[in-house]
């Protein structure tokens, strides 16, 4: 073992991977275990800076550095990708497998984080069933490996020295960029997945290396304080996510930087179990998520505790075998040429299970299963080129693009509300094309469009800013309001909470909103309620048929119950001059039931948002209501 080997860093790796495991298998108990990834980034920052600085004054080769990183990362990564892709080819429905294979291609390009940023996120149910979702962090690691030696070489060439103040400036800019994106541009998703919004965490690790060289006195009291603060973050946390990340990376910084020999600290960080987890941490990270994800995909129903424990044990065993007999062989025993040949061989093995090539493809699928599964996650999303900031929202320009913003935003139609307004985007877009008009979607996701009552006071502040912006916008002549109606808790600006009569209060609040718009000489359409499945319908229902699970999953809802639950809205709103109450349930509900499937196609993309098919199914009726306003 190298004299440079540090048991405390190996244990820190073990803690990091353990936190990630606990978060993925027991998210309700360890809701911030994802901070283990932030700890990994700090460790990487330290180790890469150490490797580069030990060679940079001698003969440093960028090519050799990159090759060594690929040799370290690719063999186990490609093994896991091949095994999981092959199992997925048998287990996944065609649409799901095609999405998985797209993520494989992005991983081969070393940018899987871009794929998962563009195709969802990390915290929704559908995302839990993406077997290679966790590879986003490998993409961020790759991008750091590419960047950091170039940064060091740049400093030496142009400044002839490496000063930590350059790292501090870049660290500050990265953390600032992360917060700007969270608040203004793409919410948590962009900040979560992108390299430059994560760079500050790696640079904390780089600072560790430069501080360690200066032989600071051991600051055990700092380690203890940061350790307990980190424990607080894990089980309680702060509302502002940057603080949670900050204390996670500072905890890792204190362990690496101060290298304490204190008995209590050494006892924890020389723990054999943590050292073992650190030894297999990379392979364990690679294996555990696809094992869990594919099991969830097959099980459909909630996973039991004993299943989770068995899956964790399987992950650990696989990780140990992979590390000892595959990863370490390529790392230490097998020569570079054989390593390269093996990587190319595995690469081409993965190519053979491309769904377009179809060498191992299943020949037949039930048409109903295929049709329903195509609706998974197909709710409307705006093109990135059509985004622009409008009030508190990332608005979406329809039937034009943001380059012609000033020219086209005159006498336009607005689709206004939350994601339950945006889900009508497909129908809205087709209608605008037909009548040759420009429109915008102004969504305030997770909040209601109402200005006097909302889900929270934070939502009230945001919705009020949007409301004032729309009221003062003379170019908006017609507003289509869309929202979800199923709420059992609302709050006003004084902090008064309404629960028992939440629906009645929502109806009154919507009426106030509509009257304000009408008084500003705007025409208004209110989109009424739909009967929603309340479980991820296309995902679960298609798998239930495919795996012949015979689970009791409903495909419709009694119309009488739906009508009774929403009676207050049907009584409150009536068509009048410049106002129409659009009733989408008239498309969905026939005779005694409100259906979730029409003509073997799913109306829904998930548990409560319309699919592309469902949205387009509403087009004619919505266009009739627009025609009735003119």
Contacts of 241 (CB under 8 A, 6+ apart): 182, 188
How high is the pLDDT of residue 123?
A: 44
The 3-state secondary structure of 497-564 reads EECCCHHHHHHHHHHHHHHHHHHCCCEEEEECCCCCCCCCHHHHHHHHHHCCCCCCCCCEEEHHHHHH
Do 343 and 420 belong to one domain? no
What are the tens digits of pLDDT across the range 250-289? 999 988 888 766 667 777 778 899 999 999 999 999 999 9
Q: Per the domain annotation, does 106 fall within a domain?
A: yes
Tell me which residue of 219, 259, 210, 251 sits closest to 234, measured CA to CA: 251
- CA dist., res. 103 & res. 100, Å (int): 5
Do 332 and 423 belong to one domain? no
Do 63 and 127 belong to one domain? yes
Do 335 and 388 belong to one domain? no
User: Other C-beta atoms within 10 Å of 454: how many?
Assistant: 25
Do 345 and 463 belong to one domain? no
Q: Per the domain annotation, does 271 fall within a domain?
A: yes
Q: Which of 334, 351, 368 corresponds to the end of one domain?
A: 351
| Helix or strand (DSSP H, E) at 398 | strand 393-398
How high is the pLDDT of residue 432?
A: 93
What are the tens digits of pLDDT across the range 528-547? 999 999 999 999 999 999 99
Token look-up 């049709």 returns: 371
Q: Per the domain annotation, does 603 fall within a domain?
A: no
Q: Per the domain annotation, does 548 fall within a domain?
A: no
Q: Which of 309, 335, 351 corresponds to the end of one domain?
A: 351
Do 32 and 156 belong to one domain? yes
Q: Per the domain annotation, does 363 fall within a domain?
A: no
For the ranges 288-292, 293-297, 405-409, 429-433, the lowest mean pLDDT is seen at 405-409
Sheet containing 589-590: give its strands across: 556-558, 593-595, 589-590
Read off the CATH number of the domain in which 621 is found. 3.40.50.1110
Do 322 and 403 belong to one domain? no
Do 268 and 312 belong to one domain? yes
Do 340 and 421 belong to one domain? no
What is the DSSP-derived secondary structure letter of residue 389? E
| Encoded tokens for 356 | 């377009």
| Encoded tokens for 333 | 């025993």
Token look-up 């199923």 returns: 486
How high is the pLDDT of residue 330?
A: 77
Whether 463 has a pLDDT exceeding 80, the answer reads yes
What are the tens digits of pLDDT across the range 313-336? 999 999 999 999 888 887 776 666
Could you tell me which residue, 302 or 216, shows the higher pLDDT? 302
User: Other C-beta atoms within 10 Å of 599: how many?
Assistant: 7
Q: Per the domain annotation, does 364 fall within a domain?
A: no
pTM score: 0.85
Do 73 and 132 belong to one domain? yes
Do 344 and 404 belong to one domain? no
**What is the number of structural domains in the chain?**
2
Q: Per the domain annotation, does 376 fall within a domain?
A: no
Predicted confidence band at 595 (pLDDT cuts at 50, 70, 90)? Answer: very high
Q: Which of 351, 367, 393 corresponds to the end of one domain?
A: 351
How high is the pLDDT of residue 356?
A: 61
Q: Per the domain annotation, does 371 fall within a domain?
A: no
- CA dist., res. 147 & res. 275, Å (int): 29
Do 63 and 185 belong to one domain? yes
Show the domain range for 156. 7-351
């Amino acid at each position: 073992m190298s004299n440079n080997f540090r048991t405390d860093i190996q244990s820190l790796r073990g803690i990091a991977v353990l936190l990630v495991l606990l978060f993925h298998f027991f998210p309700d108990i360890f809701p911030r275990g994802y901070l283990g990834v932030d700890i990994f980034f700090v460790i990487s920052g330290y180790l890469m800076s150490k490797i580069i600085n030990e060679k940079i004054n001698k003969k440093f080769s960028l090519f050799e550095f990159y090759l060594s990183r690929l040799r370290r990362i690719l063999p186990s990564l490609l093994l896991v990708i091949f095994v999981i892709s092959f199992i997925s080819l048998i287990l996944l429905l065609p649409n799901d497998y095609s999405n998985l294979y797209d993520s494989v291609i992005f991983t081969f390009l070393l940018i899987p984080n871009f794929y998962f940023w563009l195709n969802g996120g990390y915290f929704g149910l559908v995302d839990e069933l993406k077997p290679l979702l966790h590879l986003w962090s490998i993409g961020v690691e790759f991008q750091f490996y590419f960047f950091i030696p170039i940064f060091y070489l740049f400093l030496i060439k142009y400044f002839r020295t490496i000063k930590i103040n350059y790292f501090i400036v870049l660290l500050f800019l990265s953390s600032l960029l992360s917060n700007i994106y969270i608040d203004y541009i793409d919410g948590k998703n962009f900040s979560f997945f992108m390299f430059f919004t994560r760079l500050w965490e790696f640079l904390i690790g780089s600072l560790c290396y430069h501080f360690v060289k200066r032989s600071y006195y051991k600051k055990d009291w700092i380690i203890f304080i940061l350790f307990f603060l980190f424990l607080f973050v894990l089980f309680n946390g702060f509302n502002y996510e940057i603080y949670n990340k900050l204390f996670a990376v500072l905890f890792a910084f204190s362990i690496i930087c101060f290298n304490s020999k204190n008995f209590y600290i050494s006892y924890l960080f020389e723990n054999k179990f943590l050292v073992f987890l650190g030894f297999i941490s990379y392979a364990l990270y690679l294996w555990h998520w696809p094992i869990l994800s594919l099991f969830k995909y097959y099980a459909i129903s909630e996973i039991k505790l004993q299943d989770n424990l068995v899956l964790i044990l399987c992950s650990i065993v696989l990780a140990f075998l992979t590390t000892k007999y595959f990863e370490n062989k390529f790392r230490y025993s097998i020569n570079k040429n054989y390593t390269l040949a093996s990587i190319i061989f595995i690469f081409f093995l993965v190519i053979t299970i491309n769904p377009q090539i179809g060498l191992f493809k299943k020949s037949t699928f039930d048409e109903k299963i295929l049709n329903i599964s195509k609706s998974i996650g197909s709710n409307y999303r705006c093109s990135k080129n059509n985004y622009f900031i409008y009030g508190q929202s990332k608005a979406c320009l329809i039937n034009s693009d943001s380059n012609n913003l000033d020219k086209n935003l005159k006498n336009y139609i607005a689709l206004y509300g939350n994601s339950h307004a945006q889900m009508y985007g497909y129908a809205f877009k087709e209608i605008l094309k037909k009548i040759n008009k420009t429109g915008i979607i102004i969504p305030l996701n997770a909040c209601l469009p109402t200005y006097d009552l909302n889900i929270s006071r934070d939502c009230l502040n945001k919705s009020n800013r949007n409301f004032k912006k729309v009221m003062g916008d003379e170019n908006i002549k017609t507003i289509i309001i869309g929202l979800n109606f199923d709420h059992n808790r609302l709050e006003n600006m004084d902090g008064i909470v309404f629960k028992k009569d939440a629906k009645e209060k929502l109806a009154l609040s919507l009426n106030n909103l509509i009257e304000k718009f009408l008084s500003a000489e705007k025409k208004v359409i209110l989109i009424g309620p739909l009967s929603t499945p309340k479980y991820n319908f296309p995902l679960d229902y298609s798998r239930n048929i495919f795996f012949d699970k015979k689970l009791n999953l409903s495909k419709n809802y009694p119309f009488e119950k739906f009508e009774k639950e929403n009676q207050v809205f049907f009584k409150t709103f009536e068509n009048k001059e410049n106002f129409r109450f659009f009733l989408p349930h008239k498309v969905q509900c026939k005779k005694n039931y409100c259906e979730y499937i029409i003509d073997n196609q799913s109306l829904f993309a998930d548990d409560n948002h319309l699919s592309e098919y469902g949205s387009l199914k509403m087009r004619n009726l919505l266009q009739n209501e627009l025609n009735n306003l003119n």
